[in-house]
Amino acid sequence: MSTYELELDETGVPGVVASLSGELDLTNAGELEERLRRAAPESGELLVDLNHVVFIDSAAIHVLFRLARDLGAGGGLALLLAPDAPVARVLEIVNMKDAVRIVPSRTPLEHASSP
């Protein structure tokens, strides 16, 4: 069984930041989806940081697509993913950017919420 870690920062900008690390695959995709759905704020955005994920398979990718659909493409979900992150190329190949907003760093988010 592969392992992953999920750390939540509910004081994040502009909503909840879910930082993931490790491996995301069929063995943990169901649990991952449940945990991310519980973490999603009723208003605001769930920002999923994938920069420390070292492996992702199709089951976990489907979780991200479902969350993007269910939380709404209008701001319910975004992915934090640097261009050089280990899983960046995989998510590029499946055109994840067409389903969800992908940002390379938290900096633009912090500026966007400033008055």
Residue 11: domain span = 4-98
Question: Would the pTM of this model clear 0.85, i.e. be above it?
Answer: yes
- Please report whether residue 54 resides in a domain: yes
What pLDDT, in 10s, does the model give residues 38-94?
A: 999 887 899 999 999 999 999 999 999 999 999 975 568 999 999 999 999 999 999
Q: What is the chain's alpha carbon radius of gyration, rounded to the nearest angstrom?
A: 13
The CATH number assigned to the domain holding 21 equals: 3.30.750.24
What pLDDT, in 10s, does the model give residues 1-44?
A: 679 999 999 875 668 999 999 999 999 999 999 999 999 988 78
- Please report whether residue 74 resides in a domain: yes
Q: Which two tokens stand for residue 87?
A: 């899983």
- At 45 the three-state DSSP class reads coil
Question: What's the number of domains the chain is made of?
Answer: 1
Q: Give dist(CA 109, CA 7) in Å, integer.
A: 19
Q: Give dist(CA 98, CA 44) in Å, integer.
A: 20
- Please report whether residue 109 resides in a domain: no
Average pLDDT over residues 93-102: 96
- Please report whether residue 111 resides in a domain: no
